[in-house]
Structure 1
Amino acid sequence: MSDLQQPFTLIPGAAGSPVLLHVPHGSRRVPHHVRQGITLDDPALERELDHITDAHTAELAAAAAALAPVAPWRFVNNLSRLVVDPERFPDEREEMLAVGMGAVYTRTTHREQLRPPEDDPSPLLEAYFHPYADAMTEAVEARIAAAGRAVVIDVHSYPTAPLPYELHGTGPRPPVCLGIDPFHTPPGLLAAAKAAFGDRFGHDGIAHDTPFAGTYVPLRHYGSDRRVTALMIEIRRDTYMTEPGGPAGPGLEMLAGALAELVRSVSSR
């Protein structure tokens, strides 16, 4: 089975690197059997994928890994988040359930029906969500075993204008949003990100937890293991691509340099 057929891929970096670049939302792929449970017609699904996909983030992570002096490891989701969203909680703790966008989405970015709300999400959770979570947990634990720590850098993008599904879309939308966790994002990691991206965008171009907040940590480590640090990088899409869903532009190379500098900084600490 090729990497493109696998639900996710772990791409090795340097043996001693603590850094794991996580790319959960960069794919448009929806397997045929999953597509059959989606109520949108084909053109509407393509439009939804334009809005919901963090386009070119896998390419961004790959370019940064090639530039970094110590290559990070990369964990890349090869399926669209319309299959399952691996960064949601699989239960009622997730506030995005309020807009039909928990672990298995029932609504689109424009709050239209994606799946019948009465559909049982369990088959998709068992087939995709839980194996993904287990593999990410193993990848993090492998970095701890190799380097004594794991640094998860979550690579995302977001649209210039807010979409109807956003629960916190009225706040500032800076070129770079840094999502933090009070337990897993130490001041040094946040400062390193501000320095790396601030060199490109200036101090006013960087903010944290607006319009999106938090970052991904496997549940096994969440809130209990300080060897796991984490930060979410959210890039506003007009800085590097044509919206929605269009080609990447020259900004992608600049962003790859910033991300590589962040990887270099945290790898050497």
Structure 2
Amino acid sequence: MADDTPAFRLLPGAARSPVILHVPHASREIPPDVRRGIVLDDEALERELDHITDAHTDRIAAGAAAHAIVTPWRFVNGRSRLVVDPERFPDEREEMLAAGMGAVYTRSTHKERLRAEGFDPKELIARCFEPYAQAVAEAVDARLEAVGRCVVIDVHSYPTGALPYELHGDGPRPPVCLGTDPFHTPPELADAARRAFASFGGTGLDSPFAGTYVPLRHYGRDRRVSALMVEIRRDVYMSEPGGPAGPGREALAEALGGLVDAAGRAAAG
């Protein structure tokens, strides 16, 4: 697995856009030194990547940027979430620690051991998690300075059937799940997403995955930062678990582009 992939990229949008499309889980890339700390053999690791990767979401976000009238900014993770998961809390606040899937995973989607007993995540937190978090926070600050508002739209996917690691996998699994935060998700943003994705068979709220990503610097503190998580059920646009995309991908990109423009207008108002 390559080690020359950028850890993350900020792809510029229009100067007047407040929107950042955040794509944290689309990559399968794992640096060789990190791979050596994963106990799965190559075949098992490829299967795990099929299940854990939000395949093609980077391409959906790129398509949305192309469709949007006002081009959003895009922050894209270049590394697999098996390196670090930038959306987890890095401490005891993270409920997924119970499944061995905090900021650095020690268990797989099927609850198999991923890293050796006694593994210490501190080095990966310092080397990978903290620089990523800092860079996203700086991207948000730049939008706040430029236009006075920022809207983070988190682009994810999830499997049609619940995987063993899911803590809340017994709830509804709609074609598009909208993750919200009581502080950072205004009702009009969620309403705009419902309208944008109405043609895909319906949206749900906070099931099977809840919440949305806001940098810790702004989380629960700055209402100028709005956020929404868009979780797309994978059968809507791809072959599961890790196969090619189908025609649904382009339709989703167009719908997400519409949400980008609606979110930008709402923030401006």
Matched, 1:254 2:263: no
Partners of 2:200 and 2:41 in 1: CA distance = 40
Partners of 2:60 and 2:196 in 1: CA distance = 15
RMSD: 1.2
Q: Provide closer, same or farther for how the CA distance between residues 114 and 235 of structure 1 changes in structure 2, counting only shifts above 3 A.
A: same
Partners of 2:13 and 2:73 in 1: CA distance = 4
Tell me which residue corresponds to 2:128.
Answer: 128
Matched, 1:100 2:97: no
Tell me which residue corresponds to 1:220.
Answer: 217
State the Cα distance separating 1:87 from its structure 2 match: 0.3
Contact kept, 8 Å, 1:21 with 1:75, in 2: the verdict is yes
State the Cα distance separating 1:117 from its structure 2 match: 3.8
Q: How does 1:57-76 map to 2 (within 5 A)?
A: 57-76=57-76
Tell me which residue corresponds to 2:185.
Answer: 185
Q: How does 1:152-163 map to 2 (within 5 A)?
A: 152-163=152-163
Contact kept, 8 Å, 2:3 with 2:31, in 1: the verdict is no
Matched, 1:174 2:197: no
State the Cα distance separating 1:51 from its structure 2 match: 0.1
Contact kept, 8 Å, 1:3 with 1:9, in 2: the verdict is no
Partners of 1:4 and 1:191 in 2: CA distance = 40
Instruction: Give the letter aligned to residue 264 of structure 1.
Output: D
State the Cα distance separating 1:4 from its structure 2 match: 5.8
Instruction: Give the letter aligned to residue 200 of structure 2.
Output: F
Structure 1 unaligned blocks of 5 or more: none
State the Cα distance separating 1:116 from its structure 2 match: 1.8
TM-score (norm 1): 0.97
Q: What percentage of aligned pairs have identical amino acids?
A: 70
State the Cα distance separating 1:201 from its structure 2 match: 2.1
Matched, 1:51 2:51: yes
Partners of 2:219 and 2:48 in 1: CA distance = 31
State the Cα distance separating 1:54 from its structure 2 match: 0.1
CA distances 1:199-222 after superposition (whole Å, capped 9, x unpaired): x224xx111100000000011111
Q: Could you tell me which of 241, 245, 256 is aligned with 1:244?
A: 241
CA distances 1:175-223 after superposition (whole Å, capped 9, x unpaired): 000000000000110110011111x224xx1111000000000111111
Instruction: Give the letter aligned to residue 201 of structure 1.
Output: F
